[in-house]
Structure 1
């Protein structure tokens, strides 16, 4: 297996896909600008100039401000507490480095080995004691604030080589900044949907005490913002899912680089394919995009034929 070639392919595909977010933002600005053009007509029906730099600048700043503000708030909220907060929320227990439990000792050793292979500090390791399925995740917006968590099912049911492959996969997410990238993509999506929220507020305002041209203008602008926000938000979700799938391919190829043993990761994936999906914890669906086994029945129902799936097929 040429794992370096696979890593390069996944990175190139991911970079091209990220341009899709820029296209979604640009399309949103253009839609709002075009919708506002008819409102610039005078009382006597003068011909409307298609290019009005001043109006375009105002629209770009207003739309960019709403999306940017919403994105910044969401990213800050996601980053609060770091990876340790995510692990504890899911019922994780920190594994002491001096543990005498054989399974936990093996886990610590594997984490140290993969930290050396990846060239990053060994992160804290958590075990999700109440989870019997095979799963794992890495969380945190920076390598020095990251954690790795595995389920009790992974500890009990995977061989050393298989568990090493899973841990190596998660270390790739840390090394390649996938957690930070995902938070930013989620933030942009939140900003796009906030634009739709602003449109709903304008629609309600338009149905209030405003009258005449002002009322019609508010209603039209609100409707445009709702449509633009939801359409570009859907496009953003499709792009985010495609980026996530490429990062999963990158993590697989990096895991083979770190371990030099594709059979370990392959064996773990075979066992994952034979089990029920997701986590038993109530928050499992919310963090499914972070998991080694990111399948869930709810996600599958919304995946639009796999286009919104965050993981490639097993």
Structure 2
């Protein structure tokens, strides 16, 4: 969940920044001399801005993750505790088994939530981060499977594929928000039109970005099944199922204890249909069922 949300949030901030700067400096080449819209120029403009936002977000994804989550990177060349050394060796061992030649950075962050994520612009510059809550809650087999799942995300190139998808979504967001903003500015006096146009761009871009994120979330849910399968192949089917069952048990216990923070951190189970559209992960029971029925 952290990997996707941080990427989308960074993308939105980058897109808004680019949009505000271009609007303030009057870069509106898609508006012709008569005040109408040149749709071909707008589409090209939207694609440039949209993919620029997505690729900038990808480029800084690892740095943003470290900063936002306060990830403490474990340097294997320095003195580490036995538990830290074991974690680094585990991640690197699974990465080698997956065929990676450049080892991902390994980090931990202080949080009671049971979570882990992988991010980074490429296989050569990736990060696997694990919460202290996950290390405390799960046994070694479950931790190993979860790390296998995150390594599978890296090997499958999910961040790059998601970036391309986000670029397409961004293009439509920029395109539609400019059309809507242009239409809104036509209903005010000429002297107010530029201000209304800028404000409307920001508002519509946020609204359309939220709607567009549903596509990214749907892709994320789809890729989770592939990452589960990858984690099972890198460790074992039994370990991956055990890890998901441990997460299920944690979720059930959190509900009984009314620990809403812990439940919210999972974003993976027990949602109503409308709420599940905004989830980055499928239902845990569904993931366990699919994995059990796989021919691994």
TM-score by length of 2: 0.66
Q: How far apart, CA to CA, are the structure 1 residues paired with 2:209 and 2:127?
A: 33
CA distance in 2, matches of 1:170, 1:142: 14
1:285-306 alpha-carbon deviations (Å, 9 max, x no partner): 9xx8xxxx44499xx57x6253
Is 1:115 aligned to 2:90, yes or no? no
Larger-gyration structure (1/2): 1
User: After TM superposition, which residue ranges in structure 1, 4 or more long, deviate above 6 angstroms?
Assistant: 229-233, 277-281
Q: Which sections of structure 2, spanning at least 5 residues, go unmatched?
A: 1-37, 194-199, 285-296
C-alpha separation in 1, matches of 2:59 and 2:209: 27
Decide whether the 8 Å contact of 1:133 with 1:153 is kept in 2: yes
User: Residues 23-102 of structure 1 correspond to what in structure 2 (within 5 A)?
Assistant: 59=39, 61-97=40-76, 98-102=78-82
Deviation at 1:183, TM superposition (A): 2.4
The CA deviation at 1:151 is 0.3
Distance (whole Å) between structure 2 residues aligned to residue 207 and residue 70 of structure 1: 26
Please give the residue correspondences for 1:178-189 in structure 2 after superposition, counting only pairs within 5 Å: 178-189=158-169
Q: Which residue of 1 aligns with 2:128?
A: 148
Q: Which has the higher contact order (CA 8 A, sep 6+)?
A: 1
2:242 to 236, 252, 267: 267
CA RMSD of aligned residues (A): 3.8
Where 2:166 maps in the other structure, the secondary structure is: helix
Aligned-partner Cα distance in 2 for 1:88–1:71: 24
- Runs of 5+ consecutive residues of structure 1 not aligned to the other structure: 1-57, 216-222
Find the partner of 2:216 among 231, 240, 246.
Answer: 240
Distance change in 2, residues 1:148/1:231 (3 Å): closer
| Matched positions, count | 233
Q: TM-score w.r.t. structure 1 length? A: 0.62
CA contact (8 A) 1:192 1:232 kept: no
SS at match of 1:146: strand
Distance in 2, Cα, partners of 1:99 & 1:186:
40
